[in-house]
Amino acid sequence: MSARLEHVAYRLVYDAMNLRRLPSLPHWLLPSARLRVRLTYLWRHGRLPNLGNPTRFTELIQRRKLLDRDPRMGLYVNKVTAKAAAARLFGENWIIPTIWTGNSLPENPDWTFPFILKASHGCNQNAVCYDASDYQIARRRASKWADKPYGLWLDEWAYRDIPRGFIVEPFLGNRAALPVDYKIYVFGGVAAFIQVHVDRVKNHRWVLYDRRWNQISKFDEAPVTAPTSLDRMVANAERIASPFDFARVDFYEIDGMPKFGEVTFYPGSGLDRFDPEELDALIGSRWAEALNTRPCQADVPSYQAAAM
């Protein structure tokens, strides 16, 4: 596509977007992944990403969408195989038990309430079920989760070929409060930041800390007490993320015991804004450093070897 036509496409699609929700850009309408990535970034950030020389964290995620085809990522974004990999590395006591997994949800399961139903092939597709009526609602919702590959609409390549299915786990929170979510950003095998998500039921918000637990965002927020298992979380985040120039590894702490959550390679799809905005460049600088020091793809073990 010529630069002139590409510019016209940006304006036409951007002006037509519903700015109240993230648009899904169909591939038949916009067959260029680069164009789709640039448009969704423009919609969220009000500027086009620098894909030739990305410096912001959010820009580097767009670069990963377009260029990073490391097949090992598929092992870790699949919630079923990620738990198995984490159990081998950390031990079974770090793993939230699996009640059930499969690709066709039963109509009337005998699982103990409450539990959480998740799509095993994507993110942000989950439902807490406190009783049978909740489950029936969740079951209807879940049918839509499996309609198409999760990674297709936002060009998150690692998700595209994961078998579509579901996983059920015991619910670790309660109606009033979900567990605090500790999301550890690891660059080149070194943990640098911990994003702490609190009050996820009533007033969901997050605060960023460095690895020494110094608060570096949202200074009007009251400080969050560090989890007692922070050092162990950081150590295991570095272990599981070590093959990659960047990965985010999520944990919970339940009754003083750390529990593995998930691994993601596209946090917020690079479309969430940072507060303050300068954090985008700061976090991006850590990723850029890791990219400059990592071995090339030919020098790292294969996906099959990593999965052994």
How is residue 138 written in tokens? 């969740």
Q: What number of residues does the chain have?
A: 308
- Dihedral sign (CA 30, 32, 38, 44): positive
Helices 278-293 & 57-67 angle (0-180, nearest 10): 50
Q: Please give the mean pLDDT across all residues of the chain.
A: 87
Separation between Cα atoms, residue 182 and residue 291, nearest integer Å: 24
Among residues 106, 76, 240, the alpha carbon closest in space to that of 168 is found at: 106
What is 177-299's CATH number, 3.10.20, 2.60.120, 3.40.1350, 3.30.470? 3.30.470
pLDDT at site 294: 65
C-alpha span between 24 and 122 (Å, rounded): 16
Q: Which DSSP category does 112 fall into?
A: P
Cite the DSSP H helix spans in 50-102.
57-67, 73-77, 79-90
pLDDT tens-place values along the chain, 308 residues long: 555 555 445 444 444 444 334 555 666 677 789 999 999 999 999 999 999 999 999 999 999 999 999 999 999 999 999 999 999 999 999 999 999 999 999 999 999 999 999 999 988 899 999 999 999 999 999 999 988 778 887 999 999 889 999 999 999 877 777 889 999 999 999 999 999 998 766 777 889 999 999 999 887 888 899 999 999 999 999 999 999 999 999 999 999 999 999 999 999 999 999 988 999 999 999 999 999 986 544 333 332 333 32
Residues 151 and 73: their CA atoms lie apart, in Å, by 12
Q: What per-residue confidence (pLDDT) applies to 237?
A: 98
Three-state SS for 114-167 is CEEEEECCCCCCEEEECCHHHHHHHHHHHHHHCCCCHHHCCCCHHHCCCCCCEE
Q: Which two structure tokens, joined as six digits, stand for 269?
A: 């799809």
CB 200 within 8 A of CB 182: no
Specify whether the backbone of 134 is left (phi greater than 0), alpha (psi in -120 to 50) or beta.
alpha
Helices (H), 91-229: 132-145
**Phi and psi based region of residue 180 (left: phi greater than 0; alpha: psi -120 to 50; beta: remaining):** beta
Cα dihedral 134, 263, 97, 113, rounded to 10, equals -10
The Cβ of residue 133 has, within 10 Å, a number of other Cβ atoms equal to 9
